[in-house]
């Protein structure tokens, strides 16, 4: 069981690392019937654009949206790393984690889906944008999603193991 | 191993191994990510520049009026890089504060059917290399010449995306430049400062040569126009002269015919 958990954490970590640099979604801008004119006047802005997690945080920081950059950076980059590290430690030294760490793990797990939620919200908003702008989910989104789901499964396993060991 | 050592080892494993695997995943996907997204390695140092606004003093350096008729100067600007003029703005007539857009459609281009993204964009593209400079010159345009107002020399290495305001106590009080990348005409909402910019009291050699050449061309055009007008007047005079001669001949002929007719009639009367 421990081996399976460690293996799942390794996959989750690897996918998370990939998801941080792979494009999460791409936008194809459009302005309705003016699209052709806009493509002549500003071709660079009408080019499809892809955004990765790291690039998104960097762009937000550069655009002086520092609070948003910190929030996204914290919840989508830092907290998942902490969560995976804590899970790894718990899987490696099963049953050694204190209650304090376990409550921390639960708290972190709650926020780990925030990025997926943010992306889903963005997709929803852009799908309803006028002008025919299109948004497409890219490989980074799926890598991140699978990483988060795996970490959730692992967290569940770890908690079950903990309860079993406490019961014994 | 003691408990303390175990804990230390555990902390190290706890932190380092997952981070190492995350970094491995990052490295594994780095290249595909860059090629899929915006790979700008080659283009990252090329900036698109245009002049947004320029404000000049109410009088010339010698305290005289800008124009004889009391109107404000007709301001235009040029950007020089690598001893080449890479941007000439349109003229902002009668203004102490001139503004320019990065897009201007030339009527000539429209008639020639050559309107494209490159012809409508009035921007200068400059590669950022530390130590290499480019200059901006502002001119007051007259009928046959351009008077230098003021300018700036800027290190290309100091260019950043956004807007930059340059102020001086010279005749060119204020100059705002907009800088973007990849020909993007949307300027990021941030300001940057250029520390190593030098105010140019006099135009540099390229600007001077260009202005002189333009003045010469303008004078020649005026002269040619004058000559053409003279030739046309002469032609019209000749035509008028010809018409007058024809008229005179016609009158003479008509008079002669009338005279002959009268004589014939008189002769006929006498015979009767």
DSSP chain A: -HHHHHHHHHHHHHHHHHHHHSEEEEEE---GGGHHHHHHH-TTTTS-EEEEHHHHHHHHHHTT-HHHHHHHHIIIIIHHHHHHHHHHHHHHTTT---HHHHHHHHHHHHHTTHHHHHHHHHHHHHHT-GGG-EEEE-HHHHHHHHHHHHHHHHHHHHHHHHHHHHH-
**In this model, does residue B196 exceed pLDDT 70?**
yes
| Residue A36 placed within a domain | no
Which range has the top average pLDDT, A62-66, A129-133, B110-114? Answer: A62-66
User: Residue A20: closest CA among chain B residues belongs to which residue?
Assistant: B26
pLDDT of residue B41: 41
pLDDT of residue A124: 59
Which range has the top average pLDDT, B3-17, B109-123, B217-231? Answer: B217-231
* Torsional sign, CA B115, B116, B121, B126: negative
User: Residue B39: closest CA among chain A residues belongs to which residue?
Assistant: A50
pLDDT of residue B32: 46
Average pLDDT score over residue span A147-167:
78
Interchain CB contact of B271 with A (< 8 Å): no
Query: Which of A23, A41, A62 is facing B37, going by the closest CB pair?
Result: A23
Which DSSP letter does residue B202 get?
A: S
pLDDT of residue B33: 40
Mean pLDDT taken over chain B: 82
B32-90 pLDDT, tens digit per residue, is 444 443 434 444 588 999 999 999 999 888 888 888 788 899 999 999 999 999 988 88
Share of chain B above pLDDT 70, in %: 83
Share of chain B above pLDDT 90, in %: 22
* Torsional sign, CA A50, A55, A56, A60: negative
Mean pLDDT taken over chain A: 76
Average pLDDT score over residue span B186-194:
82
DSSP string, B3-32: HHHHHHHHHHHHHHHHHHHHHHHHHHHHHH
Interchain CB contact of B188 with A (< 8 Å): yes
Rounded-to-10 torsion of CA B118, B124, B129, B133: 160
More confident residue, B111 or B162: B162
pLDDT of residue A97: 61
Q: Evaluate whether B219 touches B225 at the Cβ level (below 8 Å).
A: no
**In this model, does residue A161 exceed pLDDT 80?**
no
User: Is A17 close to B188, i.e. CB distance below 8 A?
Assistant: no
Q: B219: Cβ–Cβ under 8 A, 6 or more apart, which residues?
A: B144
A83-129 pLDDT, tens digit per residue, is 888 788 777 766 666 677 767 766 776 665 565 666 666 665 565 56
User: Is B26 close to A44, i.e. CB distance below 8 A?
Assistant: no
Cα–Cα distance, A55 to A138 (Å, whole number) = 14
User: Residue B32: closest CA among chain A residues belongs to which residue?
Assistant: A22
Cα–Cα distance, A168 to A160 (Å, whole number) = 12
Confidence of residue B3 (pLDDT cuts 50, 70, 90): low
Question: How many residues make up chain B in this entry?
Answer: 272
Q: Which domain holds residue A148?
A: 2-31+49-167
Q: Nearest CA to CA, how far is A84 from chain B (Å)?
A: 7
Chain A environment of B101 (Cβ under 8 Å): none
pLDDT of residue B42: 42
Query: Which of A10, A21, A41 is facing B26, going by the closest CB pair?
Result: A21
Exposed e or buried b for every residue in B89-109, given b needs 16+ CB within 10 A?
A: bebbeebeebebebeeeeeee
Chain A environment of B184 (Cβ under 8 Å): 42, 44-45
User: Is A14 close to B25, i.e. CB distance below 8 A?
Assistant: yes
User: Is A21 close to B190, i.e. CB distance below 8 A?
Assistant: no
pLDDT of residue B152: 93
| Residue A42 placed within a domain | no
Interchain CB contact of B33 with A (< 8 Å): yes
User: Is B120 close to A41, i.e. CB distance below 8 A?
Assistant: yes
Which DSSP letter does residue B186 get?
A: S
| Residue A55 placed within a domain | yes
User: Is A63 close to B23, i.e. CB distance below 8 A?
Assistant: no
**Chains A, B: CB contacts under 8 A, how many?**
103
Confidence of residue B166 (pLDDT cuts 50, 70, 90): very high
Lowest mean pLDDT among A92-96, B150-154, B216-220: A92-96
Q: Evaluate whether B87 touches B123 at the Cβ level (below 8 Å).
A: yes
Interchain CB contact of B7 with A (< 8 Å): no
pLDDT of residue B241: 85
Q: Nearest CA to CA, how far is B183 from chain A (Å)?
A: 7
pLDDT of residue A152: 80
| Residue A141 placed within a domain | yes
| Residue A44 placed within a domain | no
| Residue A57 placed within a domain | yes
| Residue A17 placed within a domain | yes
pLDDT of residue A143: 87
Confidence of residue A133 (pLDDT cuts 50, 70, 90): confident
User: Is A85 close to B26, i.e. CB distance below 8 A?
Assistant: no
Work out how many domains chain A is built from and give that number: 1
- Pick from B49, B271, B67, B79: nearest CA to B178: B49
| Residue A41 placed within a domain | no
Q: Evaluate whether A26 touches A49 at the Cβ level (below 8 Å).
A: yes
Cα–Cα distance, B123 to B130 (Å, whole number) = 21
Q: Nearest CA to CA, how far is B33 from chain A (Å)?
A: 5
pLDDT of residue A96: 62
Interchain CB contact of B9 with A (< 8 Å): no
Confidence of residue A62 (pLDDT cuts 50, 70, 90): confident
């Amino acid at each position: 069981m421990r081996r399976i958990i460690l293996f799942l954490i390794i996959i989750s970590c690897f996918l998370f690392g990939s998801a941080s640099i792979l494009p999460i979604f791409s936008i194809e801008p459009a302005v309705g019937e003016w699209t052709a004119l806009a493509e002549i006047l500003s071709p660079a802005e009408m080019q499809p654009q892809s955004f990765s997690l790291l690039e998104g945080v960097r762009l937000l920081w550069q655009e002086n949206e520092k609070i948003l950059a910190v929030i996204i950076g914290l919840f989508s980059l830092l907290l998942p790393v902490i969560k995976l590290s804590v899970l790894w430690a718990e899987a490696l030294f099963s049953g050694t984690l204190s209650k304090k760490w376990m409550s921390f793990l639960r708290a972190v797990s709650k926020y780990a889906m925030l990025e997926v939620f943010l992306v889903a919200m963005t997709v929803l908003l852009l799908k309803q944008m006028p002008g025919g702008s299109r948004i497409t989910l890219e490989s980074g989104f799926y890598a991140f999603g699978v990483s988060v789901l795996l970490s959730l499964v692992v967290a569940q396993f770890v908690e079950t193991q903990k309860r079993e060991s406490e019961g014994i | 191993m003691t408990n303390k050592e175990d804990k230390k080892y555990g902390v190290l494993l706890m932190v380092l191994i997952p981070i190492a695997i995350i970094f491995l995943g990052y490295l594994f996907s780095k290249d595909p990510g860059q090629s899929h997204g915006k790979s700008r390695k080659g283009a990252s140092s090329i900036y698109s520049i245009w002049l947004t606004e320029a404000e000049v003093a109410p009088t010339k350096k010698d305290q005289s009026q800008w124009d004889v008729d009391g109107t404000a100067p007709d301001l235009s600007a040029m950007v020089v890089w690598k001893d080449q003029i890479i941007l000439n703005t349109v003229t902002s007539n009668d203004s102490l504060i001139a503004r320019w857009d990065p897009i201007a459609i030339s009527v000539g281009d429209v008639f020639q059917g050559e309107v494209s993204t490159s012809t409508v964009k009035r921007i200068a593209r400059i590669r950022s290399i530390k130590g290499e400079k480019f200059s901006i010159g502002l001119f007051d345009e007259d009928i046959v010449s351009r008077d230098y107002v003021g300018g700036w020399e800027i290190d290309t290495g100091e260019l950043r995306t956004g807007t930059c305001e340059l102020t001086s106590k010279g005749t060119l009080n204020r100059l705002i430049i907009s800088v973007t990348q990849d020909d993007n005409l949307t300027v990021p909402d941030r300001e940057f400062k250029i520390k190593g910019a030098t105010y140019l009291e006099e135009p540099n050699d390229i600007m001077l040569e260009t202005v002189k050449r333009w003045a010469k061309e303008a004078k020649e055009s005026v002269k040619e126009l004058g000559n053409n007008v003279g030739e046309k007047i002469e032609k019209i005079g000749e035509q008028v002269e010809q018409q007058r001669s024809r008229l005179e001949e016609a009158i003479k002929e008509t008079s002669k015919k009338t005279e002959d007719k009268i004589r014939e009639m008189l002769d006929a009367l006498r015979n009767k």
